[in-house]
Amino acid sequence: MRFTDAQLRYLRTQPLGRLATMAPDGGLQNNPVAFAIDDEHRIVIGGFEMGRSRKYRNAREHPQVAFVVDDLETIDPWKPRMIEIRGTAEALTDEDPPIEGMSREVLRITPTWTNHFGIDEPADETATA
């Protein structure tokens, strides 16, 4: 699946998201991570020692993951924004990382479902009533 233009615009303004994975014992783990979006609309997550991380091992065992990006556009008035992405992760080696200096192991998430709030297409300001 591909992200909408509004989802892409929002995701490209955010430096961090939260990745939820399942451990081999069934326990859940949720971590803040840096990410990028590739040309195929997949989430690419890197780290400085990604191949040694629990999230990398978890995704290799159980590839179903959830990823959330959220923030507050303003606090007065209260305007939260978010996108939740569910999909399948691949634990890859020898890949270009999303940020220079990170290790060459990455997680690449192919979205299968999304839900968002507060990031709809902007109103057409040229429209008349």
Is the pLDDT at 110 greater than 50? The verdict is yes
Structure tokens, 95: 């890949």
pLDDT the model gives residue 127:
39
Residue 108, Cβ neighbours under 10 Å: how many? 19
Query: Tens of pLDDT along 39-50?
Result: 999 999 999 999
Q: How far is residue 111's CA from residue 122's CA, in Å, rounded to a whole number?
A: 24
Length of the chain as a residue count: 129
Nearest to 67 by CA among 29, 38, 101: 29
Question: What pLDDT band is residue 122 in, cutting at 50, 70 and 90?
Answer: low
CB 70 within 8 A of CB 123: no
Name the β-bridge partners of 77: none
Q: Which domains does the chain have, with CATH numbers?
A: 5-117 (2.30.110.10)
pLDDT the model gives residue 52:
94
Query: Tens of pLDDT along 49-89?
Result: 999 999 999 999 999 999 999 999 999 999 999 999 999 99
